[in-house]
Amino acid sequence: MVMITDLTFDLEKKILALVPKESRPHAWQTICKRWYAVRQDLLSKKHLARTGREFILLLNTNVFSTTINLEGVHNNVDPVMEFGGKLGSLQDSNDLQIHDIFYCKGLVLCTMVGKQMLVVCNPSNRETRYVEPRTSHDCFEYALGYKGSKSSCVNSYKILRYCRYFDKQAMRTVSEFELYDFMSDSWRVLDVDEHDWEISARGVSVKGNTYWVAKENEDQFILSFDFTRERFGFLPLPYESAGPEDSMNDEYDDTAVLSVVRDEQLSVLHQYLHLDLYEMKIWVSNMIGTKKVSWGEFLVVDVVLLNVVSFVVDEEHKVAVCCSTGKDDPSDDSEEECTSISIIGKNIQSLVYDEGAIHGSWPHLINYVPSPVQILRKSTRKSKRKRTTRRHQPEEGTSARSVEETKVTPKAKPKARRSF
C-alpha cells in the first residue's frame, strides 16, 4: 500500500493544485501545515499570473501586499498598481507600527517604531515570531540571513544586528555586532576588527548572505556578510565614486541603492546627482558571492527622479519600479513630504503612486516570493533572562568570535487574528 508519506514533493504539488480554491484552506493548518503552506504558495502563483508582479511595500509604518501589472507597458498601456491589504501575519496588533523591513527567502524581518522588539513573519503561512534584542541602542541596522543552503529550515536562519554610536566615556565612535540564532534562541556578540566604514544604504539578501552599500571616507563599495562563515567582505561597485571636489549641486546626495533579482542576483541603481547629472544606471550581477562579483548593464535612462530609496527590476519588461520620497524643494519646510512609485524604462516614466508621507517614514518596496518555511513557535512563559559568559576559540576560517551569549524568552505574543 502506498502511504501519504511515500509521495514525492512534486506529486504532492500536482495533487494539491487540483483542489478547488473554494475549499476551506484554514482547516488544513490543523491537518498538515506543510500542505497548507504549499497550497498557499500555489494559489499565490496563480494569482500573480493573472494580476502581475507581487511586492511587499512598507508605507507610513504599515506593510502591504501589492501587485503591479506591467502588461503592455511598452505599448502605451498604463501600468496598474493595486493594494492587497496589510500582511495577514502582521495583524496581531492594531497599533503595530513598522519602522523598516528586511526580506530574506520568504521571511520578513520587521523593526518597530519606538520599540526594541523585532518581528519575523512568513506572509505565506501567516506565522509570526517575536525576538527581543539583547541590548538597546538607537543607531542600528538589522539583517536576516541563513547559513549554508538550508533556506527551507528556520533553524539555519540568523539575525545580524549592527550598532554604531558615539561613546561619551571613550569619546569615540563605537561599532557593535551581534548575532541571533533561531535554533538556540540566543544572541551572541561578534568580535569584528576595528574599521572606519559605515553603512550608507539598506541591505539586501542574496542566497542567504547580506549586502550593503557602504563608504569609508569618500570611497563607496559593497559590504557583504557571510552568515555561514560569519565574516565581512568587500566588493567593488560597477561605477567610480565621485569626490566632493567635483560637486556642482549640494542639495542632493548621489543615489546608490541595492535590490535583488529572483533571490539570486544583486542589482545596483546609481545617479550622480551632486554632479547635476540625471542619468540613471542600473546593473545586475552576472555572478555574485561574498568575495567576487561581475556586473552587466541592465538599463540606462535620463530621468529626473530624486531620492530613490528602493527599487526592483522586471527583466521580462526591461523596466525598473522605483520608490522615492522627499520634497520637490528640500529647502521649503512647509512643503509636505511625498512617497512616489514610478515605472522607469526606455522612453517610459509612468507614475503609479504619489501620496503624502509621514515625516521621517522611509518607504520600502521589495520583491516577494512565497516560501513554506515554518517559524518555530516559542514558549509563552513570562520573560526570563539568563546570562552566561563563555569564551571559546573560533572555528577555522572564522574571524568573528562569540564572546557572550544571552538567552531570551519573550512574553507571550498577542493572540493572532485572521487576516483580510
Write out pLDDT tens, residues 316-335. 899 999 999 877 666 666 67
Among residues 55, 58, 74, which one has the least CA distance to residue 66?
A: 55
Write out pLDDT tens, residues 296-305. 999 999 987 7
Write out pLDDT tens, residues 98-118. 999 999 988 999 998 877 789
User: Which band of pLDDT confidence, cut at 50, 70 and 90, is reported for residue 409?
Assistant: very low
Residue-range domains of the chain with CATH: 28-326+335-367 (2.120.10.30)
Q: Which residues contact 267 (CB under 8 A, 6 or more apart)?
A: 258, 259, 260, 261, 282, 283, 284, 285, 298, 311, 313
Write out pLDDT tens, residues 35-59. 666 665 555 555 444 445 788 999 9
Give the torsion sign (CA, 57, 107, 270, 329): positive
Which strands make up the sheet holding 127-131, listed edge to edge?
98-104, 107-112, 118-122, 127-131
Query: Rounded distance, CA 151 to CA 145, Å?
Result: 9
- Mean pLDDT computed over every residue of the chain: 77
pLDDT of the residue at 139: 66
pLDDT surpasses 60 at 62: yes
Question: What pTM was estimated for this model as a whole?
Answer: 0.76
Q: Return the ∠ at Cα 367 (arms to 224 and 318), rounded to 5°.
A: 100
pLDDT of the residue at 393: 41
SS3 sequence of the chain: CCCHHHCCHHHHHHHHHCCCCCCCHHHHHHHCHHHHHHHHHHHHHHHHHHHCEEEEEEECCEEEEEEEECCCHHHCCCCEEEEEEECHHHCCCCCCCEEEEEEECCEEEEEECCCCCEEEEECCCCEEEEECCCCCCCCEEEEEEECCCCCCCHHHEEEEEEEEEEECCCCEEEEEEEEEECCCCEEEEECCCCCCCEECCCCEEECCEEEEEEEECCEEEEEEEECCCCEEEEECCCCCCCCHHHCCCCCCCCEEEEEEECCCEEEEEEECHHHCCCEEEEEEEEEECCCCEEEEEEEEEECCCCCEEEEEEECCCCEEEEEEEECCCCCCCCCCCEEEEEEEECCEEEEEEEEECCCCCCCEEEECCCCCCCCCCCCCCCCEEEEECCCCCCCCCCCCCEEEEEEEECCCCCCCCCCC
Measure Cα distances from 274 to 247, 254, 408 in Å: 5, 6, 46
pLDDT of the residue at 9: 58
Give the torsion sign (CA, 234, 240, 242, 248): negative
Mean pLDDT of 356-370: 85
Write out pLDDT tens, residues 197-231. 888 889 999 999 999 999 888 788 999 999 999 99
User: Which band of pLDDT confidence, cut at 50, 70 and 90, is reported for residue 418?
Assistant: very low
pLDDT surpasses 90 at 267: yes
User: Which band of pLDDT confidence, cut at 50, 70 and 90, is reported for residue 396?
Assistant: very low
Q: What is the CA radius of gyration of the chain?
A: 22
Query: Rounded distance, CA 180 to CA 132, Å?
Result: 10
pLDDT surpasses 70 at 119: yes
pLDDT surpasses 70 at 272: yes
Query: Rounded distance, CA 112 to CA 128, Å?
Result: 14
Measure Cα distances from 191 to 198, 199, 234 in Å: 17, 18, 18
pLDDT of the residue at 151: 58
Q: Higher confidence at residue 250 or residue 255?
A: 255
Among residues 391, 394, 414, 413, which one has the least CA distance to residue 404?
A: 391
Which strands make up the sheet holding 279-288, listed edge to edge?
255-261, 265-271, 279-288, 293-302
Q: Which residues on adjacent β-strands are paired with residue 356?
A: 338
pLDDT of the residue at 75: 87
Q: Which residues contact 333 (CB under 8 A, 6 or more apart)?
A: none
pLDDT of the residue at 214: 92
pLDDT of the residue at 387: 44
pLDDT of the residue at 295: 95
User: Above pLDDT 70, what percent of the chain?
Assistant: 66
Q: Which residues contact 72 (CB under 8 A, 6 or more apart)?
A: none
Measure Cα distances from 49 to 42, 46, 53, 239 in Å: 11, 5, 8, 36
Write out pLDDT tens, residues 152-197. 677 689 999 988 777 788 788 778 899 999 888 999 998 887 778 8
Q: Return the ∠ at Cα 260 (arms to 192 and 62), rounded to 5°.
A: 90
Query: Rounded distance, CA 198 to CA 178, Å?
Result: 16
Contact 198, 214 (CB under 8 A): yes
